[in-house]
Amino acid sequence: MEEYKEQAANEIDVMEDSILKYDPSVLRLLLQDKTTKRNIIWATSDYEALGTGYEEWSEITPELITGENTLLIQPRSAKAIEEQSARTRDKAEVFTPSWVCNSQNNLIDTEWFGRENVFNRETYEGWVTTNEPVDFSGVDRDWTKYVDAQRLEITCGEAPYLVSRYDTVTGVYIPTHNRIGLLDRKMRIVEENTEERDDWIVWSLRALQSVFGYEYQGDNLLLARENLLFSYIDYYREHFHDDPDVGLLRKVANIIAWNIWQMDGLKYVVPNSCHDVEAIQLNLFGTPEPPQPCPGCKQGDPFKHTGIYCVIQDWRTKEPVRFIDMMKGWK
């Protein structure tokens, strides 16, 4: 428990052992794939040298990343320079500095509020946080609409646009007051506009339900999920000077597992789930035609894949919806 608290307080690299020892169900939730109802997969060959279970298309299970392997999955900034370079070369993995994330997130808020410098004032490769509460006067929407406004980070990596526990390039820890992620901003609004514990919890969970992100590689996806979980813990501790109970953390982890999901962003399906189509007719010689490749892959049409289309949760109707349907105008 004490190790878990220390991790939640000031470490950028979350040790999966600490989550497991605190409550195994939270770690299991963070590894869930809500689409397949199994676990997320590695979707990278980087760990195959470790043996069985670490193959590219194998599921990530708690025993593979805990115990002697608790330091296996680390943020990019904690990896060796050679490994960073290899992943950039092989997977085009380049993470955005926090000051760039802040600048781009500010553009969203400038549009939403109709004015600049709502949460901070930008400086050269940095920012200065505004200390006064965010003013909603002159805006035709109140703070609850801001909390509920949906935000999506595509190919999210460790989710630096959603939460900014640390700078993904330098690895420097960022105190809660100075964080600039899209969820960080919503949590600040919740903090400034709620007084009762029950209200804080309701709106903090709604804030979580409003942010989304998808990622291809399983290790990055788990890091993103852990970053959202531990960001929530940080804000809870700051507000209540206590740790959230296991029941609340399970709710938080479940929302995160739905909203931060594993997906091939070009196909909108679970990675490596497309398959050939078996022929249903015979040729002129009375023998079956050979299997045909996935029409979506062959034609480059995202709506024709044979793979498993990813689903996310509509938190208002409490019904799952295929993400691809959003591309057809789903609301």
Q: At what angle do helices 182-193 and 197-209 cross, to 10 degrees?
A: 160
Residues 81-100: tens digit of each pLDDT: 445 455 544 555 567 899 99
Whether residue 170 sits in one domain with residue 306: no
Q: For every one of its 331 residues, what pLDDT tens digit does the chain have, with 9 covering 90 and above?
A: 444 444 444 466 677 888 888 899 999 999 999 999 999 999 999 999 999 999 999 999 999 999 999 889 988 665 544 454 555 445 555 678 999 999 999 999 999 999 999 999 999 999 999 999 999 998 999 999 999 999 999 999 999 999 999 988 888 899 999 999 999 999 999 999 999 999 999 999 999 999 999 999 999 999 999 999 999 999 999 999 999 999 999 999 999 999 999 999 999 999 999 999 986 665 555 566 678 899 999 999 999 999 999 999 999 999 999 999 987 654 4
In a domain, residue 181? The reply is yes
Question: What is the reported pLDDT for 272?
Answer: 96
The domain of 298 spans 274-331
Residue of 25, 31, 13 lying closest to 72 (CA atoms): 13
Cβ within 8 Å of residue 255, ≥6 positions away: 205, 208, 209, 315
In a domain, residue 268? The reply is no
Domains contained in the chain, number: 2
Question: What is the reported pLDDT for 169?
Answer: 81
Whether residue 284 sits in one domain with residue 204: no
DSSP bridge pairs for 311: 322
Max CA distance (Å), the chain:
79
Whether residue 288 sits in one domain with residue 255: no
Whether residue 175 sits in one domain with residue 26: yes
In three-state secondary structure terms, 227 is: helix
Dihedral sign, CA of 40, 154, 104, 193? negative
Give the residue from 201, 232, 262 where a domain finishes.
262
Whether residue 300 sits in one domain with residue 256: no
In a domain, residue 141? The reply is yes
In a domain, residue 193? The reply is yes
Whether residue 255 sits in one domain with residue 279: no
Whether residue 129 sits in one domain with residue 210: yes
Whether residue 308 sits in one domain with residue 254: no
Residue ranges of alpha helices (H) inside the chain are: 2-10, 16-22, 24-30, 81-91, 98-113, 143-148, 182-193, 197-209, 218-240, 246-259, 295-299, 323-326
Tokens encoding 298? 């062959």
In a domain, residue 331? The reply is yes
Cα separation, 280 vs 234, in Å, equals 56
Cα separation, 83 vs 85, in Å, equals 5
Whether residue 303 sits in one domain with residue 158: no
What rounded mean pLDDT belongs to the chain?
89
Whether residue 150 sits in one domain with residue 91: yes
Number of Cβ within 10 Å of residue 292's Cβ equals 12
In a domain, residue 269? The reply is no
In a domain, residue 267? The reply is no
Residues 134-182: tens digit of each pLDDT: 999 989 999 999 999 999 999 999 999 999 999 888 888 999 999 999 9
Question: What is the reported pLDDT for 19?
Answer: 87
Whether residue 281 sits in one domain with residue 162: no
Tokens encoding 24? 């195994």
In a domain, residue 89? The reply is yes
Residue 153 DSSP symbol: E
In three-state secondary structure terms, 77 is: helix
Question: What is the reported pLDDT for 22?
Answer: 81
Give the residue from 212, 230, 262 where a domain finishes.
262
Cα separation, 178 vs 80, in Å, equals 27
Give the residue from 214, 241, 262 where a domain finishes.
262
Question: What is the reported pLDDT for 168?
Answer: 84
